[in-house]
Structures are given as C-alpha cells and as structure tokens.
Structure 1
C-alpha cells in the first residue's frame, strides 16, 4: 500500500483542492503578460489567479464538508459556517510577488483546524509538483518521503530562512537589528519569499530554522503542523506556542530552535486583540471575524516533544 492510499479522508480532500489550485496557477504562469494585478496596499499584490485559486479550493472543500468554516486570505470568512469547530485556513497563492515576476517560488497552503488545533495540512509547490502534507500524529511527508528536521546542533553551522518586511508601516529598523543579530551567529540566511514553503523547507531539513514577522494565520497554519510532525518546534519569539495570531513565528530543529529563540526574544511584540482587529479593518477585512479566528491558535506554553515507541514524536 502506498502512503497516498492510507491518507486521512479530510487530507485527501485538501490535496485534491491544492492540486486543482496548482493547475490554475501553472496555466496562468505561462502567460503572465495578460495577468490582471491589483494592489491591496503598497507592495502587497493580489491577482485574478489568487482569486480563482481560492475559489476552486473553497468550492472543493465545501462540496465535501458543507458545514465547515473557512478562513481565507482573499475572502476572509465570507464562505462556510462561521460557527463550525472545523475551520479551513487557506492561502491560495503564497508568494504572489514571486509569481507576478515569474520567479518559481510560490505555493498553495491549506490547513484544517479543529477546536483551535491544526489537524491536517497541505502545502503544494506547483512549479516542482512537490506536495508537503501532514496529519496530526501521523508524521509529515513530501510526496511519499517521510520528512525529518535536520540534525545540526550548532548555530554556527545552521542555514536559516527568513522573510523581509515589505508593507508600508512595517518596523524595518527592528527587523534589521534582528537580521544582524542572527546573521552574525549562523552559517547563512535565505529569503525566497513564500513563508508556507519556507516552513516546509525546515521540515525537510533544507533549512535548520526559519523566522519572520508580519505573517497571517494562512501563511503559517499548514507549515506549522508539517514542522512539528517532522520533529521540529514552532512558536513565537519567546518560544511560546501562541504564534498563529501574533504576527511573528520562529521554527526549527529542536536544538537550533532553542538557540534562535534566545536571539529573537528581545524583539518580540505581543499583539492584543484590539491591535489585530484594527489591522484587519485597515486591510479591508472583518476585524471581529479575524479576532474570532484566534481560536485556531492554542494558548498553551511551548511545545513538549514526547517520544513514542515507533520513533514518532507528538507535540
């Protein structure tokens, strides 16, 4: 039996949705000259491809699970059941700026949260046909290969992914201080420009760790489960597991994660609900709905890794 045949039914539906979105993205990538691009805010773009990909994802998910809720980048909570314990968290095209320029580093990200805990995760890279996926408690995979985080233990050997702030009003000076702090301690920093894919690269061991500020739940929900199922840790800059709505995330193999948290803790910025609501309203979204989505972020303290007899780890 192949790994694919044994997948959870909800994960299979998410994979079907991600591949359908990927097909739309791949077709559009062949004719970027006719692409219609709108600007959500300076340097923050949305294309008709983002919207078409999101639509096919939502249709696929709700056809299978009409009673589930939806939290999606472009449409917020307009679709689905707003009171469901099951919430699909969707980024139809993470890395839109790369896509617009023809730089082949972007992906589709889909996660399913139940009562605030991410249970299923899919990140699909349509340019390489790489499918990253995980079910809580069942491990993480790329295509049919089991993923494990890297075994490096020294920060001086570590390759670390990051993302630059790019929106007007972002705290660039704060980021530059973080960048300098981390850069002088590690072997190298990389910034491809699609956070969901970056998180999968940590799970695959390509990076030893990753950090970024200014991210939304749909950027990190799927990747966070894929990392923990690959034996890694993910949290906010102080090492707590409350990161989904905090607009800051650090992830990595356990040894490097701990060292990176020590470097980043002085730069943490805890966000209150009213800040989240105000920011969402400024972006044209329902501030109250986005705050309500904070239920998708478990509030317990930093992850504890428990060894199972078969060598898997839970968090």
Structure 2
C-alpha cells in the first residue's frame, strides 16, 4: 500500500480509511465478477450486490467517525438532517460497467460538501480511490491535490493539437446523443486524441494528474463529480459547465488547464448550440 501524505486532515483520514475498507471488499468481488448477482437498474446501467455492499460499508464507517454529517449516496439517495452543515457525497462504485466486465478501471469516490448559507454550498475535499491499481487520489481546499503522497498539477500543454481529452459517451436510454456527436465532430480535427475510459471520477482525477489535458461530459450526477471537481481545482485546473457556470449544479462538466479549458468549453458550447438550432430545442 503506497504511503499517503502526512498533510491529511483528520476528516480526510476518516475518508481514506473508509474507502480502503470498501475497496478491499470490492476487490474480492471483482475477483469473482462472474458470480455476482446483478439486476438491471436502468438502460445499460447496472447495480450489483458489490455496489450495495460498498455503499453500506462507506455509510457505516463515515457515520461512526462523523455522526452529524448528512449523506448523498448514489444507491440510497439523501439522508440525515435536512439542515445539514456538512455532507458526504458518495459514489461507492463509479465505473460499474467496467467492474462487471472485468475491466480494472473503476473507483470509490467521496466528496465533502459544506453549507455556506441557506442558498449556497461548497465542495471542500474529496477522495477518489481505484482499488485495482491502489491509486488514491485526494484533495482538500487550500492544501492541494495528491496521488498517494505525490503532489498533482494539471498539464502544461497550451496547444489543442497536442491535447488529449477524455469524455463519456452516451449509451442506452441516456439522452444528449446528438449533442455528443456534434461536440465530437468539432473536437476531433483539433486534438491529438479523445479517450473514453468509463469512470467520470477517474477522468477528473486524471485531469488533475496531468494525464488528460481536459475532460467534458454532460448530464452527470453530483456523486459522479463531487470529489473530482475539488481535485481539478486544487491541482491548478479550471472546471465549469459549458456556459461558464457551476458544473455541480448543472451536471455538465468541462475541465482542463488554464490554457485549454476555455477553448474546450467553447467547442462544447458550440456543439450544444448547433443541436438546439437544428432541433429548435
């Protein structure tokens, strides 16, 4: 197990302990993926017994350490005091389809959200852990972003033609296929490559690590991105929605470094606008 930075705060120590415990259980299930009981949750969207067990492990571990924190979890939804001051935002298994197909690219993601006032909240920390590779990404506002104990910075590339971007491809009954096609049509001639690895949490972590130069995806949930948004910002990157607004509120994410994020955002916004003009939407 790689060392983790001594800069971890007590709250982050709690999260790291929880995600590693959930991760150990997920790894055991990953080794027996063909025997998992799997039910269909939606179009091309599966939930496994492993997913549910991991969420329960995380809830138990995090609740023991911080009983006053509320939860927003992928499988069980929101729980805790409606007037919460602090909230865990949890995806117990981001990349479920990869997991169920034996592809070792999936993660446990936990973000920490703080309420500022009646109308506003702020994401202040996050952990994204891939048990298959034992990569532990973490970030805390004002402290920085890290992979295990190594400080992370977004890439320094400035030219679109040298950039590799990541995205998520709409599938099954998921909407926005037209927007995705329009955006991809505009981006492909400009860049070195586009990747789709199947975990938005890890995509954002990899932007923070400089492995990707940027990432875009539409229609994500809060638990998909809570930890990753903090990660990118603490690594010196920028993340907004295509209109320059709050991606946590809209679920539409465009992330990258200072030079490339504005250009990627412009291409994404142009693709969306083209579809609206064509369909009258």
2:248 to 238, 241, 244: 244
Q: Cα deviation per residue 1:262-311 (whole Å; 9 max; x = unaligned)?
A: 11123458xxxxxxxxxxxxxxxxxxxxxxxxxxxxxxxxxxxxxxxxxx
Q: Deviations over 1:174-214 (max 9, x none)?
A: 21111111111111000000000000000000000000112
1:219 has 2:224 as partner: yes
Deviations 1:113-152 (A, max 9, x none): 0011111110001010000001100010001100000000
Task: Judge conservation of contact 2:160–2:190 (CA < 8 Å) in 1.
Answer: yes
3-state SS in 2 of match to 1:5? coil
Query: Is the Cα–Cα contact under 8 Å of residues 10 and 120 in structure 1 kept in the other structure?
Result: no
| 1:216 and 1:245 in contact (8 A); partners too | no
Gaps of 5+ in 1: 270-315
Match for residue 152 of structure 2? 147
Q: 1:30 to 1:169 in 2, by over 3 A?
A: closer
Offset at residue 169 of structure 1 (A)? 4.6
Corresponding residue of 1:128: 133
Q: Which runs of 4+ in 1 moved over 4 A?
A: none
Corresponding position: 1:254 with 2:258 = yes
Q: Does 1:117 align with 2:122?
A: yes
Q: Give the secondary structure class of the aligned counterpart of 2:226.
A: helix
Alpha-carbon spacing, 1:205–1:259, altered in 2? closer, same or farther (3 Å): same
| Contact 1:107/1:196, CA 8 A, preserved across alignment | yes
Equivalent position SS for 1:62: helix
Measure how far apart 1:248 and its partner are.
1.0
Equivalences for residues 1-315 of structure 1 within 5 A: 4-77=5-78, 79-115=79-115, 116-240=121-245, 242-268=246-272
Tell whether the 8 Å contact from 1:70 to 1:81 is kept in structure 2 after alignment: no
State the TM-score, normalized to the length of structure 1.
Answer: 0.82
Larger mean Cα displacement after TM superposition, 172-181 or 65-74: 172-181
Give the secondary structure class of the aligned counterpart of 1:18: helix
- Superposed CA RMSD in Å reads 1.3
Match of 1:313 in 2: none
How many residues are paired up? 266
| Secondary structure of 1:103 counterpart | coil
CA contact (8 A) 2:55 2:91 kept: yes
Render the CA deviation track for 1:12-59: whole Å, top value 9, x for unaligned. 111111111111110001111210111111101110111000111111
SS in 1 for 2:77: coil
TM-score (norm 2): 0.92
CA contact (8 A) 1:25 1:53 kept: yes
2:278 matched to which residue of 1?
none
- How far did residue 3 of structure 1 move? 5.8
CA–CA distance in structure 1, aligned partners of residues 7 and 107 of structure 2 = 24
Q: Verify the 8 A CA contact 2:182 2:272 in the aligned structure 1.
A: no
Separation (CA, whole Å) in 2 of partners of 1:173 and 1:66: 44
**Partner residue, 1:294:** none
